[in-house]
Structure 1
Amino acid sequence: MDLYNKHIVLTGGTSGVGRQLVAQLARDNQLIVLGRDQTKLLALKNQHPTIITYQVDLENVKHVHQVAQSLAKDLPKVDVLINNAAVQFMPQIHEDTFVFATVEREINTNFTSVCALIHGLLPALGNSTPARIVNVNSALGLVPKTSSAVYCASKGALNIFSQSLRYQFENSAIRVQQAFLPLVDTDMTTGRGKNKMSAQSAATAIITGIEKSEKDIDIGAIRILRALLMFAPGVARRILKRS
């Protein structure tokens, strides 16, 4: 798929990898960006005047579904839906700093809102031939680490969900892709890890993978992780456990 003159819906476009996706896609496409922070959305639109923004809190799944249904009626089609937004909380469940309310926040933002957007936008996705659903995932969707257990679970669910959706849409013009990111230099990863991939490079790799129609867009160190999971899964689990 050539990402030119397409209608693209994107979540998480105000920071990190999502912001870089906006920078690289906005000039040649009609970009609709969904985000929670209206101030950040306005700043993004000032920088990229051609984009359309909607204030949506992905934790509120009912509202997400309503907005998706409204968009499906208003737009002639949606060529690409990029589910990029995610949140991650670090405390372990037995620690005093763990807040139970964050469980629902992570699951809704990282997984349930994805289901809501896909279902709500189906009529518009069905008007495009072909259409793409691109779910941005993580190494932690393949192998968990010790902290952020709920985040790991939400990304694991996204991985299995995406695979199942491929079966459901295999006789249609809708194709489901996943982009698996290594550790990327964003606000979410501040203070963690070394040798991080830049958000700009990650966004470029996602776009390249979409254009090449790769089912699983394995970016950077994810390719090494895949090899380890095949030939030395125990090593892969030990590395990610302490990441």
Structure 2
Amino acid sequence: MTIVGKHIVLTGGASGLGLELLKQLHNENEISVIARASTGLDNLRRSFDGVHVYEADLADLQSVETAADLLVRSGKKIDVLINNAAVQYTPHFLAEDFRYETIKREIDINFTSVCSLIYLLLPNLLQPNPSMIVNINSGLGLVPKTSSAVYCATKGALNLLSKSLAYQLESTNIEVKQVFLPLLDTAMTKGRGAAKISAGQASAEIIGGMQEPGDTIDVGKVKLLRLILRIAPRLAQTIMKAG
């Protein structure tokens, strides 16, 4: 699919990778953003003409349903749905700063809201012309690390969801693609890791991959991780465990 003249629905478009995707897609496409109220969202409204904003806290499923209903009732067909929004809490379960309440929030934002939006927006994705669901995943959806156990679990679940969903939709006009990211240089990863790639570089690779055949888009070092996982899975697990 050539990504020009499309209506693209993007979650979490007010910061980080989502904002970079918006910047690179905005000039040649119509963009609808689903994101929670924030200073970043206010800046987005001022900076990008023509972007449709649907405020929703993806941890609040009633809020997600309201935003999806508004999109469906707008009557606009959706050419691309990009499920990008995610949060990551790093404390171990045994750590003193682990917060019990973050478990549900992390699962709802990273996984439950994705399932919900896909289902609720299907009426606008099912159309005569080709459309696409793009789920933004992580290398941690292939192999987990020690910290961020709930985050790793949500990304593993997203991996299996995407594969099963592709089977379910293979007789329709909807293509399902999955993006596997390395560590990006964003606010979410501030103070963690080294050799990060920029959100701008990742966005360019994602958009390029969306226009190519195949159901997976491996960005940056994920290509190497997938190779190691294939030829030496225990080594991949050792490397990622310490990540």
Q: Is 1:39 matched up with 2:76?
A: no
Separation in 2 of the partners of 1:204 and 1:53?
23
Q: Which residue number in structure 1 is paired with residue 235 of structure 2? A: 235
Q: Which residue number in structure 1 is paired with residue 10 of structure 2? A: 10
The structure-2 alpha-carbon separation of the partners of 1:128 and 1:27, relative to structure 1 and needing over 3 Å to count, comes to farther
Separation in 1 of the partners of 2:95 and 2:42?
38
Q: Which residue number in structure 2 is paired with residue 174 of structure 1? A: 174
Separation in 2 of the partners of 1:139 and 1:217?
11
Separation in 1 of the partners of 2:80 and 2:143?
27
Q: What does residue range 56-205 of structure 1 map to in structure 2 within 5 Å? A: 56-127=56-127, 129-205=129-205
Separation in 2 of the partners of 1:204 and 1:93?
36
**Deviation above 3 Å: which 4+ runs of structure 1?**
none
Structure 1 residue 38 displacement after superposition: 4.0
How many pairs are equivalent?
243
Counterpart of 2:64, as a letter, is V
Structure 1 residue 194 displacement after superposition: 1.1
Separation in 2 of the partners of 1:164 and 1:226?
20
Counterpart of 2:183, as a letter, is L
Separation in 2 of the partners of 1:82 and 1:200?
16
Q: Deviations over 1:118-166 (max 9, x none)?
A: 0110000012520100000001100000000000000000000000000
The percentage of counterpart residues that share the same residue type is 49
Root-mean-square deviation (CA, aligned residues, Å) is: 1.0
Separation in 2 of the partners of 1:210 and 1:88?
25
Q: Which residue number in structure 1 is paired with residue 51 of structure 2? A: 51
Counterpart of 1:82, as a letter, is I
Q: Which runs of 5+ in 2 are unaligned?
A: none
Structure 1 residue 224 displacement after superposition: 0.4
Contact 2:86 2:110 in 1 (8 A): yes
Structure 1 residue 66 displacement after superposition: 3.0
Counterpart of 2:151, as a letter, is Y
Structure 1 residue 102 displacement after superposition: 0.2
Separation in 1 of the partners of 2:145 and 2:164?
24
Contact 2:182 2:222 in 1 (8 A): yes
Q: Which residue number in structure 2 is paired with residue 20 of structure 1? A: 20
Separation in 2 of the partners of 1:38 and 1:49?
18
Q: What is the TM-score of this pair, normalised by structure 1?
A: 0.98
Contact 1:73 1:124 in 2 (8 A): no
The structure-2 alpha-carbon separation of the partners of 1:205 and 1:75, relative to structure 1 and needing over 3 Å to count, comes to farther
Separation in 1 of the partners of 2:128 and 2:106?
31
Residue range with higher mean Cα deviation, 163-172 or 56-65: 56-65
Q: Aligned with 2:28: secondary structure?
A: coil
Q: Deviations over 1:66-116 (max 9, x none)?
A: 321321121320000000000000100111110010000100000000011
Counterpart of 1:112, as a letter, is T
Separation in 1 of the partners of 2:220 and 2:242?
19
Q: Aligned with 1:71: secondary structure?
A: helix
